[in-house]
Structure 1
Amino acid sequence: MALNVPGLIAVAVFYSIILATGIWASRKSKQEERRTTGSGTEAALIAGRNINLFVGIFTMTATWVGGGYILGTAAAVYNPTKGLVWALMPIDYILNFVLAGVFFAKPMRAKKYVTMMDPFQLKYGSTLSCVFLIPALIGDVLWVACIMASLGGTMSVILDLSAVYSICISAAVAILYTLLGGMFSVAYTDVIQLVFIFFSLWLCVPFLMLNPASTDITVTAFNGTLQAPWVGTVEPGNVGLWIDDILVLSLGGLAYQAMHQRILSAASSRDAQVICFAAAGFSSVMGIPSVLIGAVAASTDWNMTSYGSPSPYDRGEAGKILPIALQYLTPPAISIMGIGAVAAAVMSSMDSALLSSASLFTNNIYKTLIRKQASDREVQWVIKATVLVVGLAGMGLAFLGNSVLAFWVVSTDLLYTVILPQLVCVLFFPVSNGYGAAAGFTLGTLLRLLIGEPLLRLPPAIRFPDCRLIDGVYVQHFPCRTFIMLVSLCIIVSVSYVVSLLFDKGLLPKRWDVLQVKTHEAPNDSSDKKGNAGDECPAPSDRLLETNC
């Protein structure tokens, strides 16, 4: 197979459009900086809290509709051992955004936080909060690596372009426009990317479904002839694992800085809620083409195509089924549009991870622990340096392939099992304090490591009910990650209550209160003139040790 020159040109044109949009948005960022009396940091990280509602909906949706979403959904539907019932992301994202809009958008935006970790610093202090940053920062770097690796594999199928070149070029473009315009560049390029994803994938669907090598997917949905029905089933023994996967995907996203960054960029609390609710609908619609592509692939006789036999599943290429289907079941021009959609999806997720990690490091580590007196200009340079370092680190790790995927799975599990209960407690449980938070973090992390990880070939030290040996590796079928999350939540609340009681009753001397329970307390809500609770509160940087607005 020779290098696909027309496809390469088409991708180059698309990247040029994205880069031009990012450069244009960087000028808007500078205008916003001047409008907000020179606050370039807020303009870079949260767009001066002035993101247009339309743009906010698009950038929130694009952050979740990434390469993993598009490729993973198609792969799950195609996989004969899984099927549609295991393609959970479209449904999970609806739940994720609805929960974010109902419970998290208003309290986060109303307090004018800059990052998800600001309430932790207000309540627990900077040192302890920085410990909670570690899983989030590691997760962002590994997220960049995973999505870049998926792009490299996709381009190698359709363009016959080495993964090294595609990863390096794509990373350079995403890093450049994120450096130039921060949140404004990320948000406005997300609009272009999401529109391109939608139209490109839907353009491919009719050609796939009308291909003579494919059987009508309505026939193969429940009565597969070439392989198992693509709707799939959940065996009774796998119900626990299925429930666990649903909860990890739908609730775990609530602990991602990338989502809260868009909430905090909204012009008001009400806009933040609207953005979440609208993204719930849009993200589910964006998953339909991937479901159809996976269903068509499961209904295709590959012997009737130039791909030949054995099938992609038998060759171990089920994870690449979307680009394979585009390459062998659509005309060349259409497959090029499809690869553009994947590239757009990957870049929309990558720039979000870059800015997310830059926000956490700059606002919650550099400004609070390393250089408390740093000027606004200095902080802006740190943001740029962090974006560059994370981008290059992720790009380098992308060449490790499955090894990175395994570590990313563990890091995302830590966000669900450890950071999510911490966020819930700091926002909704006034009794929580640093002692409970430290105990919950330590126990949750330990338990997650002790249950093992099949992708790392790490055997479980703790075997929950229905732990099975599959292909030489023990796999937990009990919803153990959700169990750990609930244990962490209970530990945080119970330890916090007991320690507070001991100090209040004088059973422990005040000099032993090394975490200063009575110093770091969350601020109370207040209402602004518009009726959006807390929109008139000063920014967290101005009140890290205050008790209310």
Structure 2
Amino acid sequence: MAIAAVFIMYALFLAVGWFAARKVKDGSATDMIVAGRAMPLWIATLTMTATWVDGGYLLGTAEGTYKSSVALGMQGGLCFGVSLILGGLFFAKRMRQFEFTTLIDPFEARFGKYWAAVLFLPAMLGEVFWSAELLVAIGSTLAVMIGMKLSVAILLSAIVIIAYTMLGGMWSVAYTDAIQLGLVAIGLLVALPFVFEATGGLGNILHDYHAARPDRFGVFPPWQSNHGFWTTQSIINWWDVSAMLVFGGIPWNCYFQRVLSCQTPKRAQQHSILAGLLTIAFTIPPLLLGLAAFRFAWAPNLLAELQAQPSQTLPMIFQYVTPPLVGILGLGAIIGAVTSSFSSSILSAGSMFTWNFCHRLIRPDLSLLHMKRLLRMAIVMLGVAATVMAFKVQSVQALWFFTSDLIFVLLFPQLVFALFDPKVNRIGSVVAFCVSLLLRLGGGEPLFDLPPLIPYPELVSFLLPGDPQAWYDGTTLLFPYKTVAMLMGFVLLPIVSRLTAKWSPALPLKNVTQA
């Protein structure tokens, strides 16, 4: 029954994608990339929310709450929501006013197309690695809940999502996102009453969690170490990661693709703020399910399995705590969350590759018809690449985390000054980029077995409480060096630009071309 439900959902996604494709049948590349800048407010709000409420969001909220604390469980959803609100308040309206086509366009206007091609690399890699990580998430979920082979689940999901994304581009993604977000809401909300009944009610759930973990019940960590769960290092690390999620969540093309698809600059601003509020609201159901998992009387073998793999908290609740039909709805919620984000990320990567690399850099004379064909080929090519990585790469999640770091450290300062400082130039951009990259890599990277090269804790030991060695966890550095690297880019970009204005005049912010 569950397998049949999965095939029905995928057939529905294909049907909706085919329906939406009729909107771009005779249209230009603009229809595929930014929906002809004609997307209504309600659709834009739903597709933005669906993109951020992904599988990692749902699974991570339940896992973090069950395994660690409320603050760690809510961190992702809360920060993503704040990121969307800040993006709406300060970035969305300005980007839409200039009618840019992708995130990379303001970089090209300010710094030239060749340096913009360098800035394009972390942006595109982040989307592709995110796509691969999402495929692993959906494959693992289907394997746990219905026993489908991991390879089959990944391949089936990739084929369906690539197909409907290729058919209609942004319109297909937006309409399927609306359906998928509905599946998320239904699956989570229907499950809550059954889970509460199986665990003694919401009051008992909250009481038991607070009694067992009194120092882990707050939405935010304490301001000072309580010499228990929250140490000074873990508190500062929570805020460091939060800064990365909030500000690093803005310079993603999948975000601006929705902003630039809106009908007017005002609507672009409104939809981002509304989506931010919805994203925060969607944190509550998986948070409550994570709290319930902590109280539920698991069988010994299931408890051992859950403690060994806390990332499976949400799938195991749907499988073992709710009735079978409700469990299928829960499976639909997870599938909806993951597929909506995967389609968004491969479309985003394909759009940047087609528009900024192939068209703006390689073939400026590329016709709109050829561009649309090239975009469809890019979606397939990048989708296949993400699928291969999901099969072959040992830790796709680690790759995605690393590229997300780079987007925060490298691209956020570039975007802020490209949009708001008329005096920045290419030399300032290059210097800020290179210094921030060196400072980021100087903190080490376990993915590449790179130990910390810059002794950050020792250099600022006069500012830190306790022993500087307490800021090392094995080969991992707990010091907020990523935020330091980003802030250094913030300082250097405007200063170096002004010092070198004689050799590299500032370029105006403008729409480099019309799609």
- Say yes or no: TM over 0.5: yes
The answer to whether residue 30 in structure 2 is matched with residue 42 in structure 1 is yes
| Equivalent of 2:306 in 312, 330, 334 | 312
The residue aligned with 1:169 is 156
Q: How many residues align?
A: 495
CA-CA distance at 1:398 after TM superposition? 1.0
Give per-residue Cα distances to partners, 1:489-529, cap 9 Å, x unaligned: 111111111111xx2xxxxxxxxx4xx535x3324xxxxxx
Report if aligned partners of 1:453, 1:460 keep a CA contact under 8 Å in 2.
yes
State the one-letter code of the partner of 1:414: L
| Equivalent of 1:196 in 158, 183, 195 | 183
Give per-residue Cα distances to partners, 1:85-111, cap 9 Å, x unaligned: 453122212211111111101110000
Counterpart CA distance in 1 for 2:469 and 2:385 is 36
Report if aligned partners of 2:41, 2:271 keep a CA contact under 8 Å in 1.
yes
Gaps in structure 1 of 5+ consecutive residues = 1-5, 34-39, 504-512, 524-538, 544-549
Report if aligned partners of 1:302, 1:311 keep a CA contact under 8 Å in 2.
no
CA-CA distance at 1:83 after TM superposition? 3.9
Counterpart CA distance in 2 for 1:103 and 1:498 is 27
State the one-letter code of the partner of 2:357: I
Report if aligned partners of 1:78, 1:230 keep a CA contact under 8 Å in 2.
no
Counterpart CA distance in 2 for 1:382 and 1:427 is 29
Counterpart CA distance in 2 for 1:108 and 1:201 is 34
CA-CA distance at 1:310 after TM superposition? 2.3
| Equivalent of 1:345 in 337, 340, 344 | 337
CA-CA distance at 1:437 after TM superposition? 0.4
| Equivalent of 1:219 in 207, 214, 235 | 207
The residue aligned with 1:527 is none
Report if aligned partners of 2:126, 2:400 keep a CA contact under 8 Å in 1.
yes
The answer to whether residue 513 in structure 2 is matched with residue 541 in structure 1 is yes
State the one-letter code of the partner of 1:17: L
Q: Secondary structure at 2:475's aligned position in 1?
A: strand
State the one-letter code of the partner of 1:178: T
Report if aligned partners of 1:146, 1:401 keep a CA contact under 8 Å in 2.
no
Q: Secondary structure at 2:36's aligned position in 1?
A: helix
The answer to whether residue 8 in structure 2 is matched with residue 13 in structure 1 is yes
Percent identity between the aligned chains?
33
The answer to whether residue 351 in structure 2 is matched with residue 359 in structure 1 is yes
Counterpart CA distance in 1 for 2:492 and 2:513 is 30
Counterpart CA distance in 1 for 2:420 and 2:350 is 27
The residue aligned with 1:118 is 105
The residue aligned with 1:532 is none
Closer, same or farther in 2 for the Cα pair 1:228/1:210, shift >3 Å? farther
CA-CA distance at 1:438 after TM superposition? 0.5
The residue aligned with 2:479 is 478
CA-CA distance at 1:372 after TM superposition? 1.3
The answer to whether residue 197 in structure 2 is matched with residue 210 in structure 1 is yes
CA-CA distance at 1:328 after TM superposition? 1.4
Closer, same or farther in 2 for the Cα pair 1:243/1:467, shift >3 Å? farther
Counterpart CA distance in 2 for 1:248 and 1:429 is 22
The residue aligned with 1:321 is 313
In the TM superposition, 1:43-442 aligns within 5 A as 43-80=31-68, 82-212=69-199, 216-224=204-212, 234-303=230-299, 307-310=301-304, 312-313=306-307, 315=308, 317-400=309-392, 403-442=395-434
Gaps in structure 2 of 5+ consecutive residues = 222-228, 458-467
State the one-letter code of the partner of 1:312: L
Report if aligned partners of 1:220, 1:229 keep a CA contact under 8 Å in 2.
no
Larger helix share, 1 or 2? 2
Counterpart CA distance in 2 for 1:284 and 1:201 is 15
The residue aligned with 2:21 is 26
CA-CA distance at 1:403 after TM superposition? 1.6
Report if aligned partners of 1:463, 1:476 keep a CA contact under 8 Å in 2.
no
Report if aligned partners of 1:70, 1:342 keep a CA contact under 8 Å in 2.
yes
Q: Secondary structure at 1:431's aligned position in 2?
A: coil
The residue aligned with 1:492 is 493
Give per-residue Cα distances to partners, 1:451-474, cap 9 Å, x unaligned: 013455431112322454777x33
Report if aligned partners of 1:255, 1:423 keep a CA contact under 8 Å in 2.
yes
Report if aligned partners of 2:37, 2:260 keep a CA contact under 8 Å in 1.
yes
Counterpart CA distance in 2 for 1:359 and 1:125 is 19
Closer, same or farther in 2 for the Cα pair 1:263/1:236, shift >3 Å? same
The residue aligned with 1:536 is none
CA-CA distance at 1:399 after TM superposition? 2.2
Counterpart CA distance in 2 for 1:364 and 1:375 is 14
TM-score normalised by the chain length of structure 1: 0.86
Counterpart CA distance in 1 for 2:453 and 2:488 is 17
Report if aligned partners of 1:73, 1:291 keep a CA contact under 8 Å in 2.
yes
CA-CA distance at 1:367 after TM superposition? 0.8
Q: Secondary structure at 2:395's aligned position in 1?
A: helix
Report if aligned partners of 2:63, 2:73 keep a CA contact under 8 Å in 1.
no
Counterpart CA distance in 1 for 2:303 and 2:109 is 60
State the one-letter code of the partner of 1:51: M
Give per-residue Cα distances to partners, 1:291-334, cap 9 Å, x unaligned: 01111111223237xx4442512x2x011111112111112221
Counterpart CA distance in 2 for 1:20 and 1:360 is 26
Counterpart CA distance in 1 for 2:254 and 2:181 is 16
Counterpart CA distance in 1 for 2:41 and 2:98 is 19
